[in-house]
C-alpha cells in the first residue's frame, strides 16, 4: 500500500487451546511493528517455536501475558532462563497479570538463580482499558476480557505518522531541504516571493493508524466493542463450533460464530480465529462458520505471518 513502508504484522507461534494436539501448540504470537518484535503470550515450547520459525528471541524486548492459565504462560520461565544463558544484556519488560512475578521468583528461589539482564514486571490492573506501553512506533492498551480468571487482551495501535511530502514540489517551489520536515509536520511554506503554499498542497495525508487487537481467552462479550472498534485485524479466540455454545459458555470461551459476530460489530477489517479445541483435527468447519458471519475471516496457522493492513488480505 502506498505510503506504508514499515511492517505491521503478526506471526502465529501456537494456535491451539489447553492441550496440544495435531501438531498445534499452546498460545503464542509475535507481533511486529517497524521491525520491533513484541511477544504475546508464551505457552510451553514458545522458545522452540521461535527457533523453528527463525525468529531471533533476542530481538524481543516486551512480552505481554494475557492471563495465568498454563497454556498462555508455561513457556515464560524457559524463555527468561534462555535469555540469561544466551548472555542477554538488553532490558526486558513483561506486562502480565498479578501473580506472575511471584511465580517467577519462586522458581528462581529454588534454582538459586537470577537474571543477569534487567527485567521489569508490570502487573496489569484488570479494568478499565488503559495504556500500558508505548515506544516510538506503537501504543499498547489493555482490553479487559471476560474469562474464568483475570484476563487481558491487548490493542496495538500505530502512532500517528507524519504526512507524506510530494517530492516533485521541491523544484516547483524551490523548497530548501531544511523546510521539508516542518512542512510534513503541518506548516505552510512561504516562498521567496512571499507566496504562501499550504502544506496540504505539498503533502499527502499519512496512512491511517493501523491497529491489531488480541482477544484471548474470553466468553462472548460485547463490552469490548468500543475498545476494538475499527481495528485492521482482530484475533479472537474461537475454541468451539457454535454447536458447542453451552460448553463454550461453561468454560468461559467463545465459538467461531461469536468471534465473527464480534468482528462484524466492531467493524474490523479482518478476523483471525484461533485457540482451537483439541477436538478439532480439521479446522475448516470453524473457518466456514466464522466466514458465514464475517467474510474476511482466516485461521491462525502456526508459522504463518499476516500483514495487519487497512486493506483486508
For the annotated catalytic residues, the residue numbers are 71
Residue 116 touches its own copies, criterion: CB under 8 A: no
Q: Taking the complex as a whole, how short is the minimal distance between the CB of residue 255 and its own copies, in angstroms?
A: 19
How does DSSP classify residue 39? E
Q: Taking the complex as a whole, how short is the minimal distance between the CB of residue 30 and its own copies, in angstroms?
A: 18
Which of the stretches 47-55, 178-186, 195-203, 222-230 binds its own copies when contact is defined by CB under 8 A?
47-55
Given a contact cutoff of 8 angstroms between Cβ atoms, the answer to whether 68 and 121 are in contact is: no
Q: Integer distance in angstroms from the first to the last C-alpha of the chain? A: 12
Q: Which is nearer to its own copies, 71 or 289 (CB)?
A: 71
Q: Which is nearer to its own copies, 23 or 226 (CB)?
A: 23
Q: What is the CA radius of gyration of the chain?
A: 22
Please list the alpha-helical segments (H only) found in 112-230: 169-173, 177-184, 199-202, 225-228
Q: Which is nearer to its own copies, 98 or 190 (CB)?
A: 98
Q: Which helix H or strand E contains 110, and what residues bound it?
A: helix 100-111
Residue 14 touches its own copies, criterion: CB under 8 A: no
Residue 190 touches its own copies, criterion: CB under 8 A: no
Judged by CB under 8 A, the chain residues 135 through 154 that form the site for its own copies are 148-149
Number of C-beta neighbours around residue 3 at 10 A: 12
Q: Taking the complex as a whole, how short is the minimal distance between the CB of residue 10 and its own copies, in angstroms?
A: 23
Q: Taking the complex as a whole, how short is the minimal distance between the CB of residue 270 and its own copies, in angstroms?
A: 31
Alpha-carbon gap, residue 17 to 299, rounded angstroms: 14
What's the half-sphere exposure (Cβ side, CA atoms, 13 Å) at 142?
A: 23
The sheet carrying 119-124 orders its strands as 119-124, 92-97, 60-64, 36-42, 28-33, 8-14, 305-307
Alpha-carbon gap, residue 177 to 172, rounded angstroms: 14
Q: Which is nearer to its own copies, 70 or 186 (CB)?
A: 70
Q: Taking the complex as a whole, how short is the minimal distance between the CB of residue 188 and its own copies, in angstroms?
A: 56
Contact map string, positions 195 to 214, toward its own copies, x by CB under 8 A: --------------------
Which of the stretches 82-90, 170-178, 237-245, 284-292 binds its own copies when contact is defined by CB under 8 A?
82-90
Alpha-carbon gap, residue 6 to 32, rounded angstroms: 10
Residue 97 touches its own copies, criterion: CB under 8 A: yes
Joined grid coordinates for residue 104: 517467577
Alpha-carbon gap, residue 48 to 59, rounded angstroms: 15
Which of the stretches 27-35, 103-111, 203-211, 236-244 binds its own copies when contact is defined by CB under 8 A?
103-111
Applying CB under 8 A, the residues found at the interface with its own copies are 18-20, 25, 44-45, 47-48, 51, 68-71, 74-75, 77-78, 81-82, 85-86, 97-100, 102-103, 106-107, 109-113, 148-149
Amino acid at each position: 500500500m502506498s505510503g506504508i513502508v514499515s511492517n505491521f504484522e503478526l506471526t502465529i507461534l501456537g494456535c491451539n487451546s489447553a492441550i496440544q494436539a495435531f501438531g498445534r501448540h499452546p498460545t503464542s504470537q509475535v507481533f511486529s511493528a517497524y521491525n520491533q518484535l513484541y511477544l504475546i503470550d508464551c505457552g510451553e515450547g514458545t522458545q522452540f517455536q521461535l527457533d523453528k520459525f527463525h525468529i531471533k528471541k533476542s530481538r524481543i524486548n516486551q512480552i505481554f501475558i494475557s492471563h495465568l492459565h498454563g497454556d498462555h504462560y508455561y513457556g515464560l520461565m524457559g524463555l527468561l532462563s534462555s535469555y540469561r544463558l544466551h548472555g542477554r544484556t538488553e532490558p526486558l519488560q513483561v506486562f502480565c497479570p498479578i501473580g506472575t512475578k511471584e511465580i517467577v521468583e519462586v522458581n528462581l528461589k529454588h534454582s538459586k538463580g537470577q537474571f543477569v539482564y534487567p527485567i521489569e514486571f508490570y502487573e496489569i490492573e484488570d479494568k478499565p482499558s488503559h495504556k500500558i506501553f508505548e515506544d516510538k512506533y506503537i501504543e499498547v492498551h489493555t482490553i479487559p476480557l471476560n474469562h474464568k480468571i483475570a484476563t487481558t487482551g491487548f490493542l496495538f495501535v500505530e502512532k500517528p505518522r507524519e504526512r507524506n511530502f510530494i517530492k516533485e514540489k521541491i523544484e516547483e517551489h524551490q523548497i530548501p531541504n531544511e523546510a521539508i520536515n516542518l512542512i510534513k509536520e503541518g506548516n505552510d511554506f512561504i516562498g521567496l516571493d512571499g507566496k504562501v503554499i499550504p502544506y496540504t498542497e505539498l503533502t499527502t495525508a499519512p496512512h491511517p493508524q493501523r491497529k491489531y487487537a488480541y482477544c484471548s481467552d474470553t466468553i462472548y462479550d460485547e463490552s469490548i466493542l468500543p475498545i476494538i472498534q475499527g481495528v485492521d485485524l482482530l484475533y479472537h479466540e474461537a475454541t468451539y463450533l457454535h454447536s458447542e455454545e453451552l460448553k463454550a459458555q461453561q468454560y468461559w470461551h467463545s465459538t467461531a460464530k461469536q468471534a465473527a459476530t464480534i468482528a462484524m460489530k466492531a467493524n474490523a477489517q479482518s478476523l483471525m480465529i484461533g485457540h482451537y479445541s483439541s477436538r478439532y483435527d480439521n479446522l475448516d468447519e470453524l473457518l466456514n462458520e466464522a466466514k458465514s458471519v464475517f467474510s474476511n475471516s482466516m485461521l491462525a496457522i502456526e508459522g504463518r505471518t499476516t500483514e495487519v493492513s487497512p486493506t483486508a488480505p
